Amino acid sequence: MKRKLFVATIAASTLSACSTDAKNQLTNTFRNQLGLAQKLNQTVIGTRGMARLYRESDINEPFRVNGLPTPTDQRYEDAIRDGYRGYRLPVDGLVERPHTFTLAELRAMPLQTQITRHDCVEGWSVVGKWTGVQLATVVAMAQPKPTARFVVFHCFDKDDSGTEYYESLNLHEAAHPQTLLALDLNNKPLDPDHGAPVRLRIPTQLGYKSAKWVRRIELTDAFPNTLLAKGGYWEDQGYEWYAGI
């Protein structure tokens, strides 16, 4: 009962953060001025070094769900129903060799297991054991063109207003050895709430960058031209694209 009251507010506040009413509290021009610090933080902290590794005994089970619960998207419901057998992950855009992966293909690739901390922007953190394919391997197989600068993740998720969830990384962050396309969490295949069947896992940045329910990976030369084009769903709601801090 106690918990419920608070969880309900956090959910409500997350949604209110999405509404344009709340966003009018600050003009966007002023918000852009404050946002100048982001460039500074990205330069000073950036994506350097390796995320801290933890022990088996540190793992949280159950693992707290971040972001939104299972999408209600029809395509996603169909994918769950057939056990993701029909799931395909195209890697396309500014690449020499577009390729569409099946889950079996991804599982047959060299897998990395990492026990790392998931840091939520809200301020909590939990430790989980992630197994997946290095994003760098998948991107390299598609051979990015020299003009490619960003890796964009399109997801099955949609919010109440029908806006599709997406997220993006630059090629440097995508090439980080701990940036994974995660398939398993805590020794089990991902469940729908945790982003099944494939989610991004980037332990050097805040949790909202680790997009769940990835359905397409696109390489682009600019931020994706979606909605406000801030480079991701949460970024469009006012959060920073650089989420290392």
Partner 1 sequence: MTEEPTPGQRVYRHSIAARTAHWLWTLAMLVLVMSGLQIFNAAPYLDASYKTDPQHRILAFDAEMGPNNQPVGTTTIFGHTFVTTHLLGFTADGSGGESPRAFPASITLPAVQDLADGRLWHLFFGWVLLLAIVLYLVAGAIRKDLREVILRPSDVPKLLPMQLYYLRLRPAPPPHGKYNPLQKAAYTLVLFVFIPLIILTGLALSPGADASLPWLTWVFGGRQFARTWHFILMSILIVYFCVHMVLVFMNGPLNNILAMITGWYKLGKNDGVGV
Q: Which residues bind partner 1 (CB under 8 A)?
A: 1-2, 5-6, 8-10, 13, 16-17, 22, 25-26, 31, 33-38, 40-41, 45-52, 58, 60, 64, 117, 119-127, 203-206, 234, 237-240, 243-245
Question: Would you list the DSSP string of 115-170?
Answer: EEEEE-TTS-EEEEEEEEEEHHHHHHHH-B-TT--EEEEEEEEE-TT-PEEEEEEE
The least CB distance from residue 104 to partner 1, in Å, is: 32
Instruction: CB nearer to partner 1: give 84 or 239.
Output: 239
Q: Is 81 left (phi over 0), alpha (psi -120 to 50) or beta?
A: alpha
The least CB distance from residue 139 to partner 1, in Å, is: 20
Instruction: CB nearer to partner 1: give 26 or 108.
Output: 26
Instruction: CB nearer to partner 1: give 6 or 104.
Output: 6
Instruction: CB nearer to partner 1: give 31 or 85.
Output: 31
The least CB distance from residue 189 to partner 1, in Å, is: 24
The least CB distance from residue 6 to partner 1, in Å, is: 5
The least CB distance from residue 149 to partner 1, in Å, is: 20
Cis peptide before 110, with omega less than 30 degrees from 0?
Answer: no
Distance CA 150, CA 166 (A): 13
Q: Which residues contact 38 (CB under 8 A, 6 or more apart)?
A: 240, 241, 242
Cis peptide before 197, with omega less than 30 degrees from 0?
Answer: yes
Instruction: CB nearer to partner 1: give 67 or 203.
Output: 203
